[in-house]
Each structure stands twice: as C-alpha cells, then as structure tokens.
Amino acid sequence: MQRNKKSCGHMECGDGPHNQNQYMAMLKRSFHNSKIENKHLAAENAALKEELARQTSSWKEERSKLLEDRVTSVLRAQEDLDDMAAKVEMSKARQREIEMELGHMALKIKGKDMDVRNFNEHLRRKEAVIQELEAHILQRDSLWQDSVSALEQKLTSDQEANATKEGELERKLTEAEERRLTSRLDAQCQVNQMEEDINLLLLENKELQELTAMSDKDKARRQKEKKAAEREEEERQKRASKAWRQKEREKMQREEEEETKATKEEEQRQKRESKERREQEKKEKVEREKEEKREKKEMKKRGEEKKQQRNN
C-alpha cells in the first residue's frame, strides 16, 4: 500500500499526455494489486476465522483488530484512488482548457501574421510612391534649373540687344535733333535774310525817293553813309546770327547732356533692377534648393524609420 501511494504521489508530479498515460497505467496496476490484495485479505480473513474458531477469545479480538486495520487501509487506499481519479479528471479538463487556449492563441497569431503581411505590403506601396515622388521631384528640379538657365541666358541676350538698340536710337535721335536744329537755324536765317532784304528794299526805295530830291554832292554823301550803314548792319547781323547760333548750340548741348544723363540714370536703374532681380531669383533658388533638400532628408528619414519598424 505504501508503494502504491508513493507511485501515485510520483504520478501527480507528472505533466503532459505521456505522463498521464503512465499515471493511468500505474493507477490500473495499483487497483489490480489492490484487488489481488483484497482477495489475499479475504483468504487470510477466512483462515483467521477458522483459526479464531479454534483459539481463545483473545485471538478473536486480535483478529478483529487486524481486520479493522486492514479495512481501514483498504478504505484509505480507496479514498486515495478516488482522489487520484478526481485529480486525473481535473488534469484532463485543464489539458482541454490549455488546448482551447492554444487554439485561440494560434488564431490570434495567424491574424497578427496577416496584419503584419498587410502592413509590410502597405509599406512597400508607400515606399514605391515615395521613390516615384522623389524621381518626379528630381526631374522637375532638373527641368526647372534648365528653364532658369535658359531664361537667364535669354534675359542677358535681351539686355544686350536692348542696350544696342538704345544706343542706336540715341544716335538716331541725336542726328535727328541736329538736323532739326540745323533746319530751324537755316529757316531762321532765311527769315532774317528776307526781313533784311525787305528792310533794305524799303530803305533803298526811301533813299531813291530822297535822292531824286538831292544834289550830286548829297547823293555821294548819302551813298557813302548807306554803304557804311550797310556794313554796320551786316556786321550786326553777323554778330546776332553768331550769338544766336552759339545760344542754340549751348541749348542743344544742355539738352543732349540732360538726355545723356537721363539715359545713363535709366540704364543704371535698369541695371540695378536687373541685378536685384537676379539676386532675388538666386536667393529664391537657394531657398527652394534648401527646402527640397530638407524635404528629401525628411522623406529619407521617414523611409528609414518605416524600414526599421518593418524589420522590427
């Protein structure tokens, strides 16, 4: 009986289906041994009854005590067997619960694996989109740089052509102004000459009228005075014409200087504006390049973080 209890105690420490099978086998053997032992006990009991019938009452008491001990042992063994059977049933129920939990965990793991695969596929699609966007950005940047370079070259060519045209226009304007002033001077000279001729004719007419009434001596004196007056008038007209021409030249020179100054100021203003515009465009280009580099760096960083998360 002690051997059976020891075996049962050893079986209670086991785990798993294999140990349970061993435990059931040992339990069956213990039960079989108990039956055999009960048979032996029954035989011994019968023998003891026969012996006690021949012996004194003291032997009857001893046999009764022995039987009680045996019965107590059998009952205890039966209780132990019942306890072990209950524990076996509890172990089986626990095993079934564990198997059900393992089944649920397997389903959850399968679902998580599916989620991980879907997430990885989503990340791959995102990376493909990011790579496509980066390639598009690089292409747009290259096209933009080519366009800017072409526009800068065209602007430089246009500025050079405009400068050449402005110089040609200034030259033509100067020549036209000189021709206009020359024509005006010639016209004024003709007008002055005509006025002088008219005055001279009037004077001659008056003198002729006076001469008809004068003597020869008076005529000679008047002719001499006339020539002197004519010379004086001619000198005066020459001086006046020279002064007028000088004044017109100075005026034209001042106008030319003012126009040249205004043209230079306009050229300087255009150069300043062109320089400021180029500097602003260059600054904007640098800012755009910095922004694009920052965006590329952020996209690369996000891609590395997603890749690291996917690897984890």
Which structure tokens are listed for 177?
A: 């102004």
Q: Which of 18-22, 28-32, 87-91, 305-309 has the highest mean pLDDT?
A: 87-91
Please tell me which residue, 61 or 29, carries the higher pLDDT value. 29
Per-residue pLDDT reduced to its tens digit, 113-145 = 888 888 888 878 888 887 887 788 778 777 777
What's the rounded mean pLDDT across residues 300-310? 74
Per-residue pLDDT reduced to its tens digit, 240-279 = 777 877 887 788 778 778 877 887 888 888 888 888 888 8
Q: DSSP secondary-structure letter at 55?
A: S
pLDDT bucket at 6, cuts 50 / 70 / 90 = very low
**Angstrom distance (rounded) from CA 81 to CA 38:** 15
pTM > 0.85: yes or no: no
Instruction: Please report, for residues 57, 59, 208, the alpha-carbon distance to residue 64 in angstroms, rounded to integers and kept in the order given.
Output: 10, 8, 205
**Angstrom distance (rounded) from CA 75 to CA 56:** 29
Look up residue 107 and give its amino acid: L
